[in-house]
């Protein structure tokens, strides 16, 4: 069975429009508040459109601190490990990226700009889509990023 009028396999479209990094990092209190609002709306006998509009906008964003950035990538690596095991090629490459970032000096990690972090996440996303399509090759962008991180850590 295929997607896009059977031009591409359906599993190849599984990540279309999705990013493993677009998950919001909410605190337990924030999740609890959102769930309470949702439960109240579900139990209400009448509601208005205004009640379904979010009271405040929540946006996914690049982590500001270097530690949070590394945790985000590690969470993705953990997901890959849980789904595909330790021999998963993408998992091994992501672990390599984390190790290379950790080898940078603390000041270098702290000085990473949001656009640099976003570029790294974007390249990982592109490579993840290639992996989801069943392609074993590394994208040029991914190879250059890996090389750039490895060179900077020396």
The CA-atom distances, in angstroms, between 62 and each of 21, 81, 128 are 9, 23, 18
Q: What single DSSP character describes residue 133?
A: T
| Residue 103 domain flag | yes
74 in any annotated domain: yes
Q: Above 90 in pLDDT, residue 98?
A: yes
Higher per-residue confidence, 49 vs 94: 94
* pLDDT for residue 10: 53
DSSP 36-88: HHHHHHHH-SS--HHHHS-SS-------SSHHHHHHHHHHHHHHHHHHH-TT-
**pLDDT over 50 at 2, yes or no:** no
Q: Mind listing the pLDDT tens digit for each residue in 37-63?
A: 778 878 877 777 666 666 666 666 788
pLDDT band with cut points at 50, 70 and 90 for residue 19? low
Q: What is the distance between the alpha carbons of residues 11 and 38, in angstroms, rounded to a whole number?
A: 32
Mean pLDDT across the stretch 86-98? 93
Mean pLDDT of all residues belonging to the chain? 80
For 80-98, what is the mean pLDDT?
Answer: 92
Among the listed residues 9, 3, 12, the one whose alpha carbon sits nearest the alpha carbon of residue 130? 12
Counted residue by residue, the chain has a size of 154
Asked whether residue 136 is domain-assigned, the answer is yes
Q: How confident is the model at residue 1 (pLDDT cuts 50, 70, 90)?
A: very low
Q: pLDDT class for 149, splitting at 50, 70, 90? A: confident
Any bridge partners for residue 8, and if so which?
Answer: 3
Total-model pTM: 0.67
Residue 20 lies in a domain: no
- CA-to-CA distance for 82 and 52, rounded, in angstroms? 35
Give the C-alpha distances (Å, rounded to integers) separating 144 from 19, 98, 102, 120, 150. 21, 15, 18, 11, 10
Question: What are phi and psi for residue 9, nearest 5 degrees?
Answer: -60, 150
In-domain check, residue 111: yes
Domain count, the chain: 1
Within a domain: residue 85?
yes
Structure confidence at residue 117 (pLDDT): 92
- Domain interval for residue 128: 62-153
The answer to whether residue 119 sits within a structural domain is yes
């Amino acid at each position: 069975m295929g997607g896009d009028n059977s031009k591409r396999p359906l599993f190849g479209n599984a990540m279309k429009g999705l990013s493993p990094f677009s998950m919001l990092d909410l605190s337990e209190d924030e999740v609890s508040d959102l769930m309470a609002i949702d439960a109240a709306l579900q139990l209400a006998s009448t509601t208005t459109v205004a009640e379904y509009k979010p009271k405040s906008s929540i946006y996914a964003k690049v982590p500001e601190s270097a530690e949070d950035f590394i945790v985000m990538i590690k969470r993705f690596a953990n997901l890959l490990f849980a789904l595909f095991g330790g021999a998963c090629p993408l998992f091994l490459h992501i672990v390599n990226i984390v190790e290379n970032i950790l080898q940078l000096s603390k000041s270098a990690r702290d000085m990473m700009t949001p656009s640099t972090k976003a570029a790294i996440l974007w390249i990982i996303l592109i490579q993840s889509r290639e992996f989801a399509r069943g392609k074993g090759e590394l994208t040029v962008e991914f190879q250059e990023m890996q090389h750039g991180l490895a060179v900077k850590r020396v």
